[in-house]
Amino acid sequence: MSKKVFMILFFGCLGMTTEIFFVAFSNLYNQTPLWEEPLGSLTGKTYVWMFPIYALIPIIAGPIFGMVKKYPVLLRVFLYAVLILVVEFIAGFLLDQITGKCPWNYTTGWHIMGYIRLDYTPAWMAFGFMIEYLYNFIDTNLKLTNS
């Protein structure tokens, strides 16, 4: 397996897993149970549509990490959050056009057309920092064939 294929699979799975945890803990914090589950069950969710979106990380963000590595960390993570919001908006818009509904239709917080929530920017900054670290770690340390 090539390193690029591994990274696509890794970040697709990591993104979906992170999202499930984020939803579960956000619902616990906001005291809003998911479905009829008790809050203590920490029930989270994601959408299958998210796998290909998160799998784009090594394709889109990989080259960007090299271009912005000279910038201070706060600027880098802000840029990552903006990039994530742009991708989320485009993906939400396209899914809405293709399927007739955006699966994550936001109705609360500072949202734009239900596709993105601007108040999630700090969470996306933290996610971008984690992704940058993991991408660089895997790229530097993982030894896989290129075939």
pLDDT tens string 83-119: 999 999 999 999 999 999 998 889 989 999 999 999 9
Does 123 fall in a domain? Answer: yes
Q: Which domain holds residue 119?
A: 3-141
Does 118 fall in a domain? Answer: yes
CA distances from 93 to 90, 133, 138 (A): 5, 29, 32
Q: Tens digit of pLDDT for each residue in 133-147?
A: 999 999 999 887 654
Does 147 fall in a domain? Answer: no
Q: Tens digit of pLDDT for each residue in 6-43?
A: 999 999 999 999 999 999 998 899 888 888 888 889 99
By the 8 A CB rule, do 92 and 102 touch? yes
Does 127 fall in a domain? Answer: yes
DSSP letter for 49, please: T
What is the number of domains present in the chain?
Answer: 1
Q: What does pTM read for this prediction?
A: 0.85
Does 24 fall in a domain? Answer: yes
- Across 87-102, b (16+ Cβ under 10 Å) vs e yields bbeebbeebbeeeeeb
